Amino acid sequence: MRGPSIAHIVLVIAVLATVPLLTTSNVVLNFFTVALLIALVGQGWNVLGGYGGQYSFGHAAFFGTGAYVSAILQMRYGVNAWIAFALGLAGGALVGAAIGALTFRSGLKGSYFALVTLAFAEVLRILASVAPITGAGVGILITLDLRPQAFQFQSRAPFYWIILALVAASLVIVRLIERSRFGAWLVAVRENEDAAQAVGVDTARVKLAAMTISAAITAAGGGFYVQYFLFIDSGIAYGPWISIEALLAPIVGGIGTVFGPLIGALVVKTLGELTKLIAGDAPGLDLVIYGGVLVLIVAFAPYGIAGLLADLRVRFARLRSSVPERAHG
């Protein structure tokens, strides 16, 4: 199956870019901003999990590092917010590379890889909940400074366009990976690691590179979170919730596809909002829906919504090509 072209990406981003022009409702803009944030975090997971087949249960490690590095540099060292954001991204990538180097060198895969990434995230969460530099149990509040050079804005629209630009960049990166030699190696590792190794692919290095890119994209989400909500604590940064959102979006949308995480994030967030509308703001209920959706998708649509759409297209094409034959016969 051939992936989408750059033109498709431009079209989708252009359509999404009109949202702030169509509505001034903060509720709607907030919904789309959070959905795009999850799409970005999920796209990070998708690089490693979707294309590389390495299912991480601990992407919170990268999200949280991106968030904390950015927040700490701003509040403790007075670094400019944009530079802090970039360094947060780099910090996340570094943590990804470190965890990747350790786990892949020991040959951990499958369930073991999932569990060990979760353990890393939990270690970071506990450390962040006691270390003074992360604000321990209190967390870090970013001082209000509503100027563009401080990465803060009067209205929500600029935030929305920034997260959209980040998502656009992640889509282009994943599309480039998909068509590159590196992408082919990555898929080879997913399909059959031993065979890939046998034909000369340096599987450990390919996985390490994928993990680093994956971590960087997810860390960008963490950095954006801090600017948008102006607050971070250990539970938000390194808690299991973000690890679950990170894998839920691409799995629901379509694992190993360019648009999967974006589709998945929009669908999952819509479901979450609908649950809140129907059942009120009850704690835990939206997560019950998420868990249920995860089970249903694995059971009935292992290639996610993108897979279902591709399936429909094939069936439709077959239907169209068979109609004239019948007319002649």
Partner 1 sequence: MLSPVILVPAILNGLLTGAVYGLIALGLTLIYGVLHIINFAHGALLTAAMFAAFFAHRWLGLDPYLAAIVLTPLFFVLGYCLQRFVIGPAARGEDRNILLVTLGLAVVIENMLLYAFGADTRTLNLDYAFNVVDLGIAFVLIAFTIVVLGGMGSVTGALVGGLFIGVVESLCGLYLGESLGQIGIFVMFILVLLFRPRGLLGERA
Interface residues toward partner 1, by CB under 8 A:
53, 55, 57, 102-103, 106-108, 110-112, 114-116, 118-120, 122-123, 126-127, 129-130, 240, 244, 247, 251, 282-285, 287-288, 290-296, 298-299, 302
Closest approach, Cβ 102 to partner 1, in A, equals 6
Closest approach, Cβ 64 to partner 1, in A, equals 15
Sequence-separated (6 or more) residues with CB below 8 Å from residue 279: 285
Return the number of the residue (145 or 311) whose C-beta is nearest partner 1.
311
37: closest CA among 217, 179, 191, 175?
217
Closest approach, Cβ 298 to partner 1, in A, equals 5
Q: Which tokens hold the place of 17? A: 């870019």
Closest approach, Cβ 318 to partner 1, in A, equals 25
Return the number of the residue (12 or 297) whose C-beta is nearest partner 1.
297
Residue 150 is which amino acid?
A
Q: Which tokens hold the place of 317? A: 């094409």
Return the number of the residue (148 or 302) whose C-beta is nearest partner 1.
302
Return the number of the residue (132 or 329) whose C-beta is nearest partner 1.
132
Closest approach, Cβ 23 to partner 1, in A, equals 31
Residue 296 is which amino acid?
L
Return the number of the residue (123 or 138) whose C-beta is nearest partner 1.
123
The whole-angstrom separation of Cα 178 and Cα 44 is 14
Return the number of the residue (94 or 294) whose C-beta is nearest partner 1.
294
Q: Which tokens hold the place of 296? A: 């249903």
- Report how far Cα 98 is from the mean position of its chain's Cα atoms: 20
Cβ atoms of residues 113 and 56 within 8 Å: yes
At residue 141, the 3 state secondary structure works out as strand
Closest approach, Cβ 251 to partner 1, in A, equals 7
Query: HSE (CB half, 13 Å, CA atoms) of 12?
Result: 19
CB atoms within 10 A of CB 108: 16
